[in-house]
Structure 1
Amino acid sequence: MQTRRTPLLDSLAVAALSATLLAACSGGEPGAAARSAPPPAPMVTVVTVQAEAVPMVAELPGRTAPYLIAELRPQVTGIVKERPFTEGSEVKAGQVLYQIDPAPYQAAHASAAADLARAEANLHAARLKAERYAELVRIEAVSRQANDDAAAALGQARAEVAAAKAALEKAKIDLDYTRVKSPITGRIGRSAVTPGALVTANQDAVLATVQQLDPIYVDLTQSSVELLRLRREIAAGRLQAGAKGEVPVKLILEDGSEYAAEGRLAVAEVTVDEGTGSVTLRARFPNPKGELLPGMYVRARLPQGVRSDAILVPHAALSRDARGTALVMVVDGEGKAEARPVTVAQSFGERWVITGGLAGGERVIVEGLQKIRPGAPVQAQEAGAAPAAPAR
C-alpha cells in the first residue's frame, strides 16, 4: 500500500534541512568573527609645535683666576728678621710683609753719603780754582794751560758728585728693599720662609703670593668650530645678535648651584689655541664674600643671540638611535606615527630647542611612545585636552 506525503510534511522537511545546513555552516569555531576584527589604534598624547623666538645660551667650561697676582721675591740678600703677617689673611698695598736685616745696607748707605760729601767738597775747591784762573788768564798772570787744567778739574769734580749721588740713591734703594712690601691689596697665601732664613736677591723661590680675589676672573673656553657656526648663523639671519655692550654671564658652581652675582664678559681672545682648537673668553665677577677661589672648575652661561624660528619640544619627546641621532615621533597627515630625525641646539628649561627637522604646526608625540612603532596608525590626543573614549 503506497503512502502519500502531504505538502505540509514536505515543507517541514525542507525547513529542517535548511536549519541543519545553517547550523553546520555557522557552528564551526565560536568567536572567530570577533577575532578577525583588527585591534584599535593605540592612543597617544601629542603637542602641536610652533616656531618661536628663543634666546640661545652657550654653556662653557672654565676655571677661576685671580684678578691680580703678585709673587714676592727679595731684591737684596740677607737674613729674614721679621714676618709681620698672618698666612691666609688680607694685606694692604704697601704693607711690610718681610723685614730683612738692614744693618749692612745702612752701613752702605752711610758710606755713600760720606762719599757724596767728599765729592761735593772737592767740587767746591775745584770751582774756586777754576774761577780764579779764569780771571788771572785775562791779565796773563797764569798760562792758558793752567787755566784749561783748572776747568777740566772742575768738570771732573762735578762728575764725581753726580756719581756719588747715584751711589747714595742705590744704597737708599737697597736699604728700602730690606722691607719686602705687598704691591697689591689682596689675600696672602702661605709663607715659604720663616725668620732666620737666608734669602738672596732675585731668587727663583717665591716668598709668598698675594692675590686679589674681588673681583675675580673666570677663564672660559669655546670651540672655534662653534664660534664659526655662530657667526655663520648670524650672517645668514637665522640668529639675531644682541645689542653691543657688556655681555652678562651666569655662573654654575661645582656643586650645581648658581652663583648669586652676575658677571660680565671682559676679554675675548683673538687667537685660537693650536693644541685644543678653542678660543679663550674671560669674564669678571664680583666676589665680596670670597666664595670663588682661584682654580675652581665652573660652568658659565653666555647669551649668544635670539633664534626667531626655533621649535621647542619636551624632553620626554626626544630619543636617540644607536648612532646617536636625535629622533622624535610625529603624527603624519594619514594619522600614522613617523620617526623624524631632528637637529638639537640646546636645552631650554624643560624643553629641547630644535633647529632642524620640524616645522610649525606638526604634532609631536610626547606620551604613549612605548605602544607605537613607525608607520603604525595612532589615535592622537592633544596634551591638556579631555581624554577621548577609546575606539571599539
Structure 2
Amino acid sequence: MHKKKKTVMAVAVLVGGLAVGLWTFTRPAPKRITAPTAVPVQVVNVVREDVPRYATGIGSVLSLQNVVVRTQVDGILTRLMVKEGQRVKAGDLLATIDDRSIRAALGQANAQLSQSQAQLNVAEIDLKRYKLLTQDNSIPKQQFDQQQALVNQLKATVQGNQASINAAQVQLSYTQIRSPVTGRVGIRNVDEGNFLRVTDANGLFSVTQIDPIAVEFSLPQDMLPTLHELLAAPAPAKVNAYMGDGTTGTLLGGGTLSLIDNQVAATTGTIRAKALFDNTTEKLWPGQLVSVRIQTAIDRAALKVPPQVVQRGIDQHYVFRVTGDKVEVVPVKVLYQNSDLVLISGVNVNDVLVSDGQSRLKDGAHIEVVKAEPLATLADAGGAAK
C-alpha cells in the first residue's frame, strides 16, 4: 500500500512538471515597447533681409551708330588712312579719292565767275551814267531800261557761277572721306588703287560705335506696368548683362533702362525694351547674345529662406518648423521666389525650418538634426567609390 502511494505521487509530480513546461513554451511572448525612430534632417534659420527683385530675359547687343562708309563721287581710291579694327573719332580722315578732275572744274568755275564779275562791274558803271543822262533827256528812257536789264542778267550769271563753285567745292570735299561717328573700323572691302563708284553697295568698310552701346531685350507683357514705373522713377533702373545664365554667368557690364517699345508683339505677347551701357572695357560687342537681369523692386525686411524649404501641398504651401525634437506643419504664403531664394510670410524671423529630409516627415514627427557633409568630404567619398 505504501509503495502504491509513492507511485501515484511520482506520476502527479511528472504530470505537473509537464504542464508547467508546456505552459512555459506555449504562452505568448510579452510585447516590447519601442521608442519612435528619429528622422535625420537638416535645418536652416529664417532670416530677415532687404531683398531685390529681378526680371530676366534674353537680349542682343546693338550699336547706337553703325555706318557703312561709301564714296559720294566716282574716282580712284588713292589712299587709305586707317587700318582694320582701328578706333577712330568723328571727323578723322579715313581715305582720299583722286580729286584732279574736280579741282580742274573748280578752277574753271572760278574763272567764269571772274569774267562775269568784270562784265557786271562795267555794266553797273554804264548804268550810273545812263541814269544821269536820262535826267536831262540826253538819252532815250528805253536805253536806260536795257542797260538795267543787262546788269540784272549779269548779276544772275555771277550767282550761277558762284553756285557752280560751291558745287565743285562740295564735290572736292567728297574726295576726303571722314568718319561720321566715333567707333571702330571694320573689315575693308576695297584696296588702294580701286576705282570707286557711288553705286557700289558694299562701301569701303563700316564704322561701328562701341562705347556707349545698347542692349535690346524682351520681357513678358505682364511686366509693362512695372517697366512704366521704372522709367518714371527718379533713379534709372539698373540692368546687368551676362554671358550665359543671368545668375551664374559672367557679368559683362551694368547699364540703365532707357526706353520701352511703343507696342506689344502680338505673336509672342512680349514687350521690347532697351538699356544703355558704358562699354569702356568693350566686353559687350554688337550682335552678341546676352542674358539680361533688371532690378524691378526691393522687398524691405523680408523673411528669406532657401527654395527647398517650402513644400507645396494640395491647396497651399507649407514648411516644417522645428519645436524641440519634433516638427510641426506651418502653412505659409509665397511672396516672391527665384532659383536662389523664397520670400514667405506665416513664420517668424529666426524660426528653425527643415531644409532637407521632408519626404519622411509628418506633423509631430521626431527628428534628429544632422549637419551637411562638407563638399570636400563628398568629393573624397566619390573618388574612393570609384
What is the TM-score of this pair, normalised by structure 2?
0.76
2:342 corresponds, among 338, 341, 353, to 353
| Offset, 1:218 | 2.6
Task: Please state if 1:72 is matched with 2:61.
Answer: no
**Structure 1 residues 247 and 118, CA gap change in structure 2 (3 angstroms):** same
1:368 corresponds, among 353, 357, 361, to 357
Partner of 2:237: 247
| Offset, 1:127 | 0.8
Partner of 1:264: 255
Q: Aligned residues: percent identity?
A: 24
Between 165-174 and 218-227, the greater mean CA deviation after superposition: 218-227
| Offset, 1:72 | 0.8
Instruction: Return the letter of the residue paired with 1:196.
Output: G
Between 214-223 and 334-343, the greater mean CA deviation after superposition: 334-343
Partner of 2:366: 379
CA distance in 2, matches of 1:181, 1:326: 67
* Secondary structure of the corresponding residue to residue 160 of structure 1: helix
Partner of 2:378: none
1:314 corresponds, among 303, 306, 329, to 306
Partner of 1:105: 102
CA distance in 2, matches of 1:123, 1:254: 75
- Contact (CA 8 Å) 1:63, 1:298: kept in 2 or not? yes
| Offset, 1:311 | 3.7
Partner of 1:196: 193
Between 310-319 and 127-136, the greater mean CA deviation after superposition: 310-319
Instruction: Return the letter of the residue paired with 1:379.
Output: H
Q: Which residues in structure 2 correspond to 1:39-50 (within 5 Å)?
A: 39-49=36-46
- Contact (CA 8 Å) 1:215, 1:284: kept in 2 or not? yes
| Offset, 1:167 | 0.9
Structure 1 gap segments, 5+ residues each: 235-239, 385-392
Between 12-21 and 274-283, the greater mean CA deviation after superposition: 12-21
* Secondary structure of the corresponding residue to residue 192 of structure 1: coil
CA distance in 2, matches of 1:53, 1:131: 90
Task: Please state if 1:295 is matched with 2:287.
Answer: yes
Structure 2 gap segments, 5+ residues each: 372-386
Partner of 2:125: 128
- Contact (CA 8 Å) 1:326, 1:342: kept in 2 or not? no
**Structure 1 residues 200 and 180, CA gap change in structure 2 (3 angstroms):** same
**Structure 1 residues 382 and 272, CA gap change in structure 2 (3 angstroms):** farther
Q: Which residues in structure 2 correspond to 1:16-27 (within 5 Å)?
A: 19=20, 22-23=23-24, 26=27
CA distance in 1, matches of 2:243, 2:126: 80
| Offset, 1:312 | 2.1
Instruction: Return the letter of the residue paired with 1:210.
Output: V
What is the TM-score of this pair, normalised by structure 1?
0.75
CA distance in 2, matches of 1:134, 1:207: 61
- Contact (CA 8 Å) 1:218, 1:285: kept in 2 or not? no
Task: Please state if 1:33 is matched with 2:31.
Answer: yes
